[in-house]
Amino acid sequence: MRYYLVDLISQWEMDTKIRGMKNVTMTEDFLEYHFPKYPVMPGVLLLESMAQLAGWLEAASSGFTRWFLIEHVNQCKFYGFARPGDQVEIEIEVLRADGPTHKAYQGVGSVAGQRRIVAEFEGRIVPLSEIEHPGDQKALFQILTRMAPNSLPLEEAAFGS
């Protein structure tokens, strides 16, 4: 089973930054035991949602030929819990590209304007076709962005701080 931990991609700027959202719902199976009678989204899954969003940025920026795979977390700090009913707003920005096959990102995840996670991570850029069917990923991207099939990215959309 694959966990999709990004429910919406609201804005992106090619090769630069992306903004998305993860809705935490009570029906997610990882909440059953984390923690009994006090369900919270595991911090590592918040980090994975950031990595998936970085993957979407790579895919959209490359015409769905590349994907990002996290390899190393340089820094990560948690500021509170994400609980059922929360919408975690995630912003990812490219820190640096070390050649064509390695990138570093920084990200912030917030609930109602309050930080829940801040992280800096890096990893490999791989051919998307090695891990997923590019056409399927492009179709899923259109669902996540609510875009028509031939729409362009919202590069002119303002990113808030």
How far from chain centre, in Å, is Cα 117? 13
Instruction: Indicate the SS3 state at residue 44.
Output: helix
Which of 34, 72, 102, 133 is the catalytic position?
34
Per-position b or e across 115-138, b if 16+ CB within 10 A of its CB: ebbbbbbbbebeebeeebebeebb
Active site residue 72: no
Q: Which of 7, 10, 125, 11 is nearest to 59 (CA)?
A: 125
CA nearest to 123, candidates 65, 45, 66, 60: 66
- Catalytic positions, please? 34
